[in-house]
Structure 1
Amino acid sequence: MTLDHAPRRHHRRIVRRLHAVPAAVATGILITGLLAIPAHAEHGTSTGPSTGAAIGTVARTAGDARFEPGPCPKTPEPIAALEKARCGTLTVPENRARPDSRRITLGVAIVPAAAAKPKPDPIVWLAGGPGDDAVGEAKMAIDGGLNRDRDVIFMSQRGTYSADPVLTCPNIDEFNARAVGLVYDAPSTERLHVEATRTCRDRLADRGADLGAYNDTESAADYADLRVALGIDQWNVFGISYGTHLALIYMRQHPQGIRSVGIDGILPPSKAGSALTWSSARQGFDGLFKACAEQPACNRRYPHLSATFDRLVRELEAHPVTTTVTVPGRPKPVKVVLDGGALVNWMTSATHVAPGVPRSLDELAHGKPQRIAEQWAGGKLSPEAFGRTAHGLAYGVFCSEWVPYESRAEGLRGGHDAFPSFPRSVLAQAPQLTFLRPDCAVWDVPAAPPSIRDVTRSDIPTLALSGGFDSQTGAAAGPYVARTLSRATVVTVPYEPHVVFATSRCAQEITVSFFDNPTAPQTGCLTGLEPPRFEIGP
């Protein structure tokens, strides 16, 4: 969820997920009357036999969808994992509710299993965001060993970087870069923020995009069609961050052919919104603060860290601090303004670099904001922050599936429950979802059917993975979704941030073992995991 400002490239991609979306991305849509496919209806019919070894090598159709072998999808940088991939495109209707809908194409890459004799049921990867491109996450999946003995399938979700059309908005990325020098939650910043969103929307609409068709219902149908078009009888699903949101809807709307589901960094569709984001922040922050308090050296040097953080949020909101920092790749110093909202959003990402957080907060408390300012600006000014997020898909999900089903009062109440000492101006803008409601007002798309918020009830074996430091999709989401998933295994990997598969070898081992035996994954590696050694400053 979605989800983008971690200082290191590997982490920055994860933080972008709902994690994830740059500050000006926060909304979405679904067209009125768009009907979900009945839970037990097959969406497409394969034109050929199922031959796992041949997936991706011949053209196939599935209802109105068609897979065509071809070149591999474009990626911002070369990805070695794709060098041996079988690739092509899936062509689907942009809006299945409209008979005259235009056709759009989604890039597909199938990375072969490392084993000489792969298992017949591949794994399909659902990316974070909303707005990240799954093909661009192939390195993460393969580095984690996901293709040990199964092919791994990556498809660019509609609107993302390697799809056609692509719904990125460089003007929003440029505004996010400029915004590091503005007061984060000021009314003047809101006006500029919403204007960037409006400009993005108008440009995409002028290019013919049916913005109401970029949502989870259409995307779930895309994946259902992909499985059938590739001639696969059964596959496994693995979703990270926002991809867990899509996975839970997909397994509810199109359960056919799904052998097992792994979800990592869990975002339940039934609870998604500002209140959940505040609750997740509280869980992740408290996990980190507790780990420091239990480490004698950290506790001695940085006592009462939680109280220090809360105090800094209040003080900076009343009196923002302005500084200048040097950012890699920028020839001139960059102006950075830190207020309470900026600090909260920095902290939401900073759990990815947990060892340095106590020292950074202590330096800020003693008049040295540079470390935090460098990290805050570095994420937004990184080359990876420009032109890669599909803002049209992000707004498509948030504005149709979240905002219509959570009132402003409910969001504020969720913030106050989690952080009762925070000023109202901070609580009005949930972490990662700044100016969400005014953005959705200008995006102007209909709400999804209320059923989009239903809980997922299923007996499909499911692995629910979370990190103890996850401040973007809190670990409590694992037990929550497991209540209605009768064959779920809930695992929290301690001391890890959002999307544990990307950061924890133990999480990777558990995940791979789960797909081998979905009812009894091997979790022994959790024993003896230790907290990070926190930096101790002078």
Structure 2
Amino acid sequence: MTSPTPRRPARPSRRLPAVLAGATAGALVVGLAALPARAESGAGAPLGTVARTAGGGHFEPGPCPRTADPIPDLARAHCGTLTVPENRSRRHGRRITLAVAIIPAVGRRPASDPIVWLAGGPGDDAVSEIPMAVAGGLNRDRDVIFMSQRGTYSADPQLTCPNVDEFAADSLGLAFGAPSTGRLHVRETRKCRDRVVNRGADPSAYDGPESAADYDALRKALGIMQWNVFGISYGTNLALHYMRLHPEGIRSVGIDGVLPPALSGGAVTWKAAREGYDGLFRACEEQPACNNRYPHLKGTFERLVSEVEARPVTTSVTVPGRSRPVKVVLDGGVLVNWLASATHVAAGVPRSIDELAHGNPQRIAAQWAGGKLSPQAIGRTSHGLAYGVFCREWTPYESEADIVRAGRRLFPSFPRSVLVNAPFLSWLHPDCRAWDVPPADPSVRQRTYSDIPTLVLSGGFDAQTAPSNGAYAARTLSRSTAVTVPYVAHVVFADSTCAQTITVAFFDRPGAPDTRCLAGLRPPTFEIAP
């Protein structure tokens, strides 16, 4: 999966497929509940009793993890590591280590049930998403626990593969949909697999069910009787696995940017693109100034996809941090992926599409290149975890033909060379043939049936995980509240103060979250070119 573009430096990564759901409050053991309000980073403040669980988890207080960017909030965090079996089916197999950071609640009398944060990706590092959680006020009344998923940046082993990210940057000057570009990408995937295996890792041990067991082990090792779960993007997929496999000790769950395991794959990303694009196009149509200046925006965009796929546009752009102009080729696949992320900066999208239609590709090319060349796009994603999820849980249960059929049904004018590469999941099946891991048990595709109170959040402009996915997941969650926040793209908690208010209110009262702020939301004011 490629990184979302354009990538804004202030936003912690939440990639999805770049791309993401207890009745009563419990109490923490005294050791954790009585932690001081602050602790110096790396001081190794005690976190309850160091414990081993039946699942093999062992928690050890210790220094806070290293991070790619400075995270000031770690200065007051309580940190340590959880050690778990790499592959739980192997009784005496090797063990791996996952970094843990607990951000204390701001309030003087925090609730006894903390929130555990499940990061996106698959492959993003939870610790890097601390600023997003704190900015949204998630730790107002509760401690928030961040644990690196297996293989991610602050875990050991760290299964990042910078070569895959570097290829995405180096290939800006290649036609995205060309077969030769796909072959080169698969070559980098093979190199990544070699890197993972050479580090002694078992590629088949990095998937959702193993990660869900890691979180169950963490709760038990910390001595937490009951906690709340909040997952974003791919973290919603993991949260639904977790609810199904290890429901004990979960008081409530929030999922934002929903990707149900039963739907995961390329077909659903075409659905997400259709729904997210249409939400934005409709908002422009309903705004007289936008509709008058950019009439028939939907038809213009879809025509452009076919036109530039047949005749790619080559240009050069200046990217911050680069001394020389960067060559960029725009074809149909690039436009599809660009818009799926550009809904995050929706106000400028109609103008960008219009400029391309009139022969000026600069705005789109600059955004596309800026995302690929950003320092945040290189060496931070665990492709070892991402491919484990894709190739064990997704591709065995969806064919390449299924992806093309879904795309053709939703975008009948797109050529097959575009449809074969679903948004954010380009070359998925060839990559998985190179990754060469056995499929997960078919139960991995089961829907989650649960009566755990669940907040299901979607964004009206979300072109990465379909807004309708939220309603789909909610249908088997008997005590769920499904909310679509209009005019917001993927992961509404990151961009919407209303979504943040609803989320915090939900964890206070899971049965009746306050959603009144939705009534006051307004669409963006779209940029009008002179």
Identify the TM-score tier after normalising by the shorter chain: over 0.9
In 2, Cα distance between the equivalents of 1:409 and 1:203?
31
Aligned with 1:62: secondary structure?
coil
Are 1:65 and 1:92, in contact at CA under 8 Å, matched by a contact in 2?
Answer: yes
Are 2:459 and 2:467, in contact at CA under 8 Å, matched by a contact in 1?
Answer: yes
Tell me which amino acid in the other structure corresponds to 1:324: S
Compute the displacement of 1:319 (Å): 0.1
Aligned with 2:10: secondary structure?
helix
Give the aligned length.
Answer: 513
- Which of residues 493, 497, 500 is equivalent to 1:501? 493
Aligned with 2:371: secondary structure?
helix
Compute the displacement of 1:50 (Å): 7.3
In 1, Cα distance between the equivalents of 2:470 and 2:2?
18
> Which residue does 1:26 correspond to in 2?
none
> Which residue does 2:480 correspond to in 1?
488
> Which residue does 2:8 correspond to in 1?
8
> Which residue does 2:147 correspond to in 1?
155
Q: Does 1:210 align with 2:209?
A: no
Q: Does 1:20 align with 2:28?
A: no
Mapping of 1:136-535 within 5 angstroms? Answer: 136-535=128-527
> Which residue does 2:108 correspond to in 1?
116
Aligned with 2:60: secondary structure?
strand
Tell me which amino acid in the other structure corresponds to 2:17: L
In 2, Cα distance between the equivalents of 1:361 and 1:49?
58
Are 2:279 and 2:460, in contact at CA under 8 Å, matched by a contact in 1?
Answer: yes
In 2, Cα distance between the equivalents of 1:464 and 1:20?
17
Give per-residue Cα distances to partners, 1:196-229, cap 9 Å, x unaligned: 0001101211221111000011100000000000
Are 2:125 and 2:154, in contact at CA under 8 Å, matched by a contact in 1?
Answer: yes
In 2, Cα distance between the equivalents of 1:383 and 1:454?
37
Q: CA RMSD in A?
A: 1.6
In 2, Cα distance between the equivalents of 1:155 and 1:207?
21
In 2, Cα distance between the equivalents of 1:132 and 1:417?
32
Unaligned runs of 5+ in 2: 21-28, 36-45
Aligned with 1:324: secondary structure?
strand
Tell me which amino acid in the other structure corresponds to 1:209: A
Compute the displacement of 1:11 (Å): 4.3
- Seq. identity, %: 67
Compute the displacement of 1:349 (Å): 0.6
Are 1:52 and 1:232, in contact at CA under 8 Å, matched by a contact in 2?
Answer: no
Compute the displacement of 1:59 (Å): 1.8
Give per-residue Cα distances to partners, 1:364-423, cap 9 Å, x unaligned: 000000000000000000011111000000000000000000112211111011111100
In 2, Cα distance between the equivalents of 1:534 and 1:524?
25
Are 1:2 and 1:130, in contact at CA under 8 Å, matched by a contact in 2?
Answer: no
Compute the displacement of 1:53 (Å): 3.0
Are 1:49 and 1:231, in contact at CA under 8 Å, matched by a contact in 2?
Answer: no
In 1, Cα distance between the equivalents of 2:231 and 2:275?
21
- Which of residues 31, 53, 62 is equivalent to 1:62? 53
Q: Does 1:101 align with 2:93?
A: yes
Q: CA distance change for structure 1 residues 509 and 226 in 2, over 3 Å: closer, same or farther? A: same
Compute the displacement of 1:103 (Å): 0.8
Aligned with 2:506: secondary structure?
helix
Are 2:393 and 2:445, in contact at CA under 8 Å, matched by a contact in 1?
Answer: yes
- Which of residues 34, 53, 60 is equivalent to 1:53? 34
Aligned with 1:491: secondary structure?
strand
- Which of residues 127, 135, 159 is equivalent to 2:127? 135
In 1, Cα distance between the equivalents of 2:412 and 2:300?
15
Compute the displacement of 1:6 (Å): 2.0
Q: CA distance change for structure 1 residues 51 and 383 in 2, over 3 Å: closer, same or farther? A: closer
Q: CA distance change for structure 1 residues 306 and 316 in 2, over 3 Å: closer, same or farther? A: same
In 1, Cα distance between the equivalents of 2:194 and 2:458?
38
Q: CA distance change for structure 1 residues 211 and 287 in 2, over 3 Å: closer, same or farther? A: same
Compute the displacement of 1:525 (Å): 0.2
Q: CA distance change for structure 1 residues 501 and 12 in 2, over 3 Å: closer, same or farther? A: same
Compute the displacement of 1:13 (Å): 2.1
* Deviates most, 269-278 or 75-84: 75-84
Are 1:50 and 1:233, in contact at CA under 8 Å, matched by a contact in 2?
Answer: no
Are 2:346 and 2:526, in contact at CA under 8 Å, matched by a contact in 1?
Answer: yes
In 2, Cα distance between the equivalents of 1:279 and 1:350?
16
Tell me which amino acid in the other structure corresponds to 2:354: D
In 2, Cα distance between the equivalents of 1:242 and 1:528?
29
Tell me which amino acid in the other structure corresponds to 1:520: A
In 1, Cα distance between the equivalents of 2:76 and 2:12?
26
Are 1:3 and 1:241, in contact at CA under 8 Å, matched by a contact in 2?
Answer: no
Compute the displacement of 1:3 (Å): 5.9
Tell me which amino acid in the other structure corresponds to 1:66: H
In 2, Cα distance between the equivalents of 1:357 and 1:247?
32
Compute the displacement of 1:185 (Å): 1.1
Aligned with 1:131: secondary structure?
coil
Compute the displacement of 1:12 (Å): 6.9
Compute the displacement of 1:521 (Å): 0.2
Are 1:125 and 1:152, in contact at CA under 8 Å, matched by a contact in 2?
Answer: yes
In 2, Cα distance between the equivalents of 1:205 and 1:20?
26
Larger relative contact order (CA 8 Å, sep ≥ 6):
1
Compute the displacement of 1:58 (Å): 3.9
Q: CA distance change for structure 1 residues 498 and 352 in 2, over 3 Å: closer, same or farther? A: same
Give per-residue Cα distances to partners, 1:501-533, cap 9 Å, x unaligned: 000000000000000000100000000210000
Unaligned runs of 5+ in 1: 22-47
Give per-residue Cα distances to partners, 1:54-90, cap 9 Å, x unaligned: 5725422212110000000111111112210000000
TM-score, structure 1 length as denominator?
Answer: 0.93
Q: CA distance change for structure 1 residues 455 and 500 in 2, over 3 Å: closer, same or farther? A: same
Tell me which amino acid in the other structure corresponds to 2:390: F
Are 2:85 and 2:94, in contact at CA under 8 Å, matched by a contact in 1?
Answer: yes
Compute the displacement of 1:49 (Å): 6.9
In 1, Cα distance between the equivalents of 2:325 and 2:400?
38
Compute the displacement of 1:19 (Å): 5.4
Mapping of 1:66-81 within 5 angstroms? Answer: 66-81=58-73
Give per-residue Cα distances to partners, 1:328-379, cap 9 Å, x unaligned: 1111110000000111000011000000000000000000000000000000
Are 1:122 and 1:152, in contact at CA under 8 Å, matched by a contact in 2?
Answer: yes
In 2, Cα distance between the equivalents of 1:318 and 1:104?
48
Are 2:31 and 2:47, in contact at CA under 8 Å, matched by a contact in 1?
Answer: no
